[in-house]
Chain A
């Protein structure tokens, strides 16, 4: 019997929600890492019981957690599970994210643009997104703030920056979005292990075709009226990018404003906002079996980070964009003022595709019928930062 495991990161801990394939009754486990901000939890496609979690705190900094049993138990990679290790030189470096400045592979640390337009040094703050390899449970990528991408090939024990991204030349033009200068999206190409995409707020989208050595900005067609040159090569506040694994050349983007689409792996973009009530938002995702069916949650504006008119509505396009329908059955349609953050939507791959999202109000909603109807799995978690789904069995 198939099973679904939903991995939820919140402002005050992680939760693991499980159900059978009917997705009617749910078991809620957590909080794990209570009191800590859990920006992201994600499972390995190569070993579904291998999970990685980004745990962080303004006081204590970054911690990486790993589970080998689907989230029942956790430990920091490089430290033995259970008891503390015997005395000796400390080895734990799973939270050591150091920008590469080496002569051999690193570029000199540049500066980036700060909120006030001055140049500012790169400073590591936290891991926003963890993307496990499609084929190796011990290989995982981390998107961090200040924006950079790191890779671990030993299960998160040690991390190395893929410095070609930060060093390719436009770094001084990158600037923080309202949430910080974060690398929040990492997409691996299932048909080409050398290719991946990342997105940074606020710099834009980038692609590598050589396994992360070199990167190029892929922002042609993006237009952002809030920057001095609306058509600039970099500086766009991309909020999230999604791809269907069967069509790696087709990308869907929720930009700060505008919903966009690329049919050439990001080389050019076209707007597909169509009849959306507002094209500001954070999440975007693709149906598991219908590559032209996409989902967004429109948010009123960048100054009012909540849904329009007090109504929580997911919008679905079955035409790859432009034509959108509001999905509201089971969702609150009055007095609702929540936000849905960029990593807080995911889909399962059961025959009838399930769609999940979490809100700033602590609700996690699920639809077992591709969005036609919704029900809350839980209503009162801490504010939800991320939602991922694993389809098991």
Chain B
């Protein structure tokens, strides 16, 4: 089970509280996690990555295991602890000097 933490505005759109848990088939990558996230919550389509290009929206960042994964390739495997569900993948709205709506869990 993959755990994803959404920024508050996207939690509101998806009508969820807390972490989102996803079953991802095959290799766990940014793309496969986001594909599954958008399949479960279609209202998030276009809000994390562009509808057509599938590029990450410029003011969003992906973090996991205290690392910035934003510039990793979409098909690169995510860390094993994310794939195992031990650590969450964080989708973060970035602002200068902070992270929108977050108190980071570490």
Contacts and interface: CB of A to CB of B under 8 A. Distances in A.
A247 to B, nearest CB: 40
B42 A85 contact: yes
Given A60-B57, A82-B15, A95 B42 contact: no
A117 interface: no
Interface in B52-106: 52, 57, 59-60, 93-94, 100
A92 B15 contact: no
B46 A61 contact: yes
Contacts of A84: 14-16, 40-43
- Chain A's interface size range is 20 to 34
A59 B100 contact: yes
Interface string A69-101: 000000010110011110111111101101000
Listed residue (B42, B47, B60, B100) with the most chain A CB atoms within 10 angstroms of its CB: B42
Contacts of B45: 90, 92-93, 95-96
Interface residues of B, number: 26
Contact of B51 (A88, A91, A98): A98
Contact of A61 (B38, B52, B57): B57
Give chain A's interface secondary structure class. loop
A79 B42 contact: yes
A98 B51 CA distance: 9
B39 A62 contact: no
B13 interface: yes
A301 interface: no
Nearest to A89: B39
Contact of A93 (B7, B39, B47, B51): B51
A90 B14 CA distance: 13
Contacts of A62: 46
Given A57-B9, A59-B57, A95-B45, 12 more contacts: A35-B9, A36-B9, A58-B59, A59-B94, A60-B13, A60-B60, A84-B43, A90-B39, A95-B47, A96-B46, A96-B51, A98-B51
Interface of A: 35-36, 57-63, 76, 78-79, 82-85, 87-93, 95-96, 98
